[in-house]
Amino acid sequence: MRTNPIDVALFLILKLLKFFDVRQTNLKYFDAEKVKNILVISSTAIGDTLLSTPAIRAVRERYPKAKIIAHFNIKNMALFENNPHIDSIIPYYGRYKRFFRTIAKLRKHRFDLALIFHGNEPQATPMAYLSGAKFIVKIPNISEYGFLLSNRNQAFEWEDFTHGVEQRLKAAELAGCKISDKRMVLPLTENGEAAAGDFLEISGIGDSDIVIGFQTGASTLSRMWFPDRFAELGRRLITSYPELKIVLTGSPQEYEYCKKIACAIGERAIVSAGRISLKYMPALIKRFRTLVTGDTGIMHIAVAVGTPVTALFAVADPMKSGPYYDLDKHTAIKKDRTCDPCVSKKCKYQKCMENISVDEVFDAVKRTAFNPA
């Protein structure tokens, strides 16, 4: 139920606009040969946008001459600026911030097609419609704004797909795309490799050192393992492998949190949070022997650049949001949810993560980093 007055007003306005819209917008009228300008929307978190990159590649392969404009979250769009399959990015600022100014920018491109791979609602679908795009495809398509979509004839829900990548690829298929490659797209940059090399050198990490990454934070508390367990894991790894260094990744806001864990591990633990730009993180993570992480965007960066992950899951399902390919390289530890019902994003204490022990993560890291299959 909508309680925000802006949401209510927007919904009513769009109902009215759609009622008077005489365009034939159902997919049965879609002609791929007439598509010249395409809007691709993936305006949420890092991992969500990375999961959209295989579908964006498929769009580029099907429409090689089209102009493809991406609508990405301003907080992480720098990570995707060198994506070879898009022409430019128009940022999403969050909820209704700069909403109408963004729509004005979108309308200048006269989009023939908008593909919503993953977007914040209730902004994403209205924004796609108000951009002027004739055809709009989104999966799932059962939300209150489904009346704006071109793919209304067949209902799809999240549960219809084994993984988030599959959901996005299905949307691309509905727009005439053929799927040739399901791997994520995240090219390294020369500046990124140089910045990562400089950071490692300044931190006293040489080419012969083994580096393991710890991503200790997450988007929600429910997805975070405990700091004392990360610290214990780090101490055990350093004791077992004298040539090992540990790098704790995170956002600038997580620096102090990471610093406390690093201090508890010892001098061979280094904090990168706040010390290296997000756009250079792929190059740094590629240097790791493995990354220990919860269900995070950093995990997906690691998978994209080929770094094995030791991923810790309880609230989330690794089958839907974990590593999607190269499964022989990655280890996902999954525990059942403890609370019923699970409050997920509103969790104040991640009790289910208690079921992941230091022993089993230590053993998983040994297999992933030192005895790969």
Going from N- to C-terminal start, the domains of the chain cover 5-174, 190-370
- Classified as helix, coil or strand, 333 is strand
Contact 280, 195 (CB under 8 A): yes
Q: Does the structure show a pLDDT above 80 at 371? A: no
Q: How far is CA 59 from the centre of its chain?
A: 19
Query: What CATH architecture does domain 5-174 belong to?
Result: 3-Layer(aba) Sandwich (3.40)
Inform me whether the pLDDT recorded for 146 exceeds 60.
Answer: yes
Question: Mean pLDDT, to the nearest integer, of 112-134?
Answer: 97
Task: Count CB atoms within 10 A of the CB of residue 364.
Answer: 21
Domain 190-370 has CATH 3.40.50.2000: yes
> Could you tell me which residues come within 8 angstroms of residue 281 by beta carbon, excluding any fewer than 6 positions away?
79, 192, 249, 298, 301
Q: Which residues contact 177 (CB under 8 A, 6 or more apart)?
A: 55, 58, 59, 61, 62
Using the structure block, give the residue that is written with the tokens 């040739």: 180
pLDDT above 70 covers what percent of the chain? 99
Burial of 130 (0-12, 13-18, 19+ CB in 10 A): buried
DSSP one-letter code for 179: P
Over 80: is that where the pLDDT of 2 sits? no
pLDDT of residue 54: 98
- 167/165 Cα distance (integer angstroms): 5
pLDDT in tens, 26-82: 999 999 999 999 999 999 999 999 999 999 999 999 999 999 999 999 999 999 999
Strands (E), the chain: 37-42, 67-73, 88-92, 113-118, 135-138, 210-215, 244-249, 269-271, 290-293, 309-313, 331-334
Tell me what pLDDT residue 372 has. Answer: 61
The C-alpha atoms of residue 233 and residue 77 are separated, in whole angstroms, by 33
Does the pLDDT value for residue 373 go beyond 60?
Answer: no
What's 116's DSSP letter? Answer: E
Residue-averaged pLDDT of the chain: 95
3-class secondary structure, 96: coil
In the predicted structure, residue 1 carries a pLDDT above the cut 70: no
Amino acid (one-letter) located at 61: E
Residue 157, pLDDT > 90, answer yes
Query: Tell me: the pLDDT tens digits for 187-196?
Result: 998 899 999 9
Two domains, one topology: 5-174 and 190-370: yes
Nearest to 232 by CA among 334, 360, 332, 367: 360
pLDDT, one tens digit per residue, over 93-119 is: 999 999 999 999 999 999 999 999 999
Nearest 5°: CA angle at 45, between 42 and 49? 40
pLDDT digits (tens, 9 = 90+) for 303-358: 999 999 999 999 989 999 999 999 999 999 999 999 888 888 889 999 999 999 99
* Of 292, 274, 276, nearest in space to 284 by CA: 276
For 271-295, write each residue's pLDDT tens digit: 999 999 999 999 999 999 999 999 9
Chain centre distance of CA 359: 29
Above 90 in pLDDT, residue 163?
yes
